[in-house]
Amino acid sequence: MFDECSDLDLVDNLKHNINIQDSLYELINRHSGIFYDMVNNYTMSFKNTYYREEIKDDIEFLFYRTCLRYNQERGTKFSTFLGNETKYHCLNFYNKNKKYYLPQEKEIPALEFEKANTKDMFVDPNTVDKIFGILKKHPDERVKQIFEMRYLDPDYNKLTPWREVGKKLNLSIQGCINIHNQALPYIRKHLSKHEINFQRTN
């Protein structure tokens, strides 16, 4: 049934709350190739592949938003509009998150990270439980370990030096930093906008 509908019919369904799920899935089935091609093309400069996968995971939301924004009176095909929307989303996503981005090929001296602030400057104490609750669900178990060592180690009044975190986990300093920074978008995604804004470690 839905495979016989035009793109415009399916978009109209979404705009008027008619068979939303089936209409959305049919559009994704038709045009996911364009979406993934655009994401792969416009995230090639992302050394952190976590960002690319995060955008891909939002495919249903991005298709739905594109449908609501689409206006056929402008003379643009839906597939073309989708490609443009995906491109701009990737570029905006990068600009918004680039301060959290750490080039993996760059080796950072350990001393740069010894300019640590005190732990109570890291986060509002009321938010700590939420953050570590989120970290428990992170697929990489090392993330929770790194955050606990870095910010909650009672042996250090200031933030635990990266070299000490690396020793305990048998990882390089750079490896620990990369894992830490790659987890920041995951944390921010699960916290409300009115809670904490992490600053990339530097």
Q: What is the 3 state secondary structure string of the chain?
A: CHHHCCHHHHHHHHHCCCCHHHHHHHHHHHHHHHHHHHHHHHCCCCCCHHHHHHHHHCHHHHHHHHHHHCCHHHCCCHHHHHHHHHHHHHHHHHHHHHHHCCCCCCCCCHHHHHCCCEHHHCCCHHHHHHHHHHHHCCCCHHHHHHHHHHHHCCCCCECCCHHHHHHHHCCCHHHHHHHHHHHHHHHHHHCCCCCCCCCCCC
Work out the average pLDDT over 125-151: 83
Please choose, from the candidates 116, 112, 109, 133, the residue with its C-alpha nearest in 3D space to the C-alpha of residue 195. 133
Residue 118 is which amino acid? T
The answer, yes or no, to whether residue 27 has pLDDT greater than 90, is yes
Work out the average pLDDT over 162-178: 83
pLDDT of residue 120: 46
The owner of tokens 């992170």 is 138
Q: Please report which confidence band the pLDDT of residue 193 belongs to, taking 50, 70 and 90 as the band edges.
A: very low
Measure the CA dihedral 128/133/137/140, to 10°. 30
The owner of tokens 């804004």 is 197
Q: Taking the domains of the chain in order of start, what are their residue ranges?
A: 2-100, 110-190
pLDDT of residue 68: 93
pLDDT tens-digit map of 42-101: 887 666 566 777 788 888 889 999 999 999 889 999 999 999 999 999 888 877 766 554
Whether the Cβ atoms of residue 90 and residue 43 lie closer than 8 Å to each other: yes
The C-alpha atoms of residue 107 and residue 109 are separated, in whole angstroms, by 7
Work out the average pLDDT over 122-133: 68
The C-alpha atoms of residue 160 and residue 145 are separated, in whole angstroms, by 12
Tell me the pTM.
0.50
**Which CATH entry fits the domain spanning 110-190: 2.130.10, 1.10.10, 3.40.50, 1.20.120?**
1.10.10
How many Å is the maximal CA-CA distance in the chain?
66
Mean per-residue pLDDT over the chain, rounded: 77
pLDDT of residue 125: 56
**At residue 163, what are phi and psi to the nearest 5 degrees?**
-65, -35
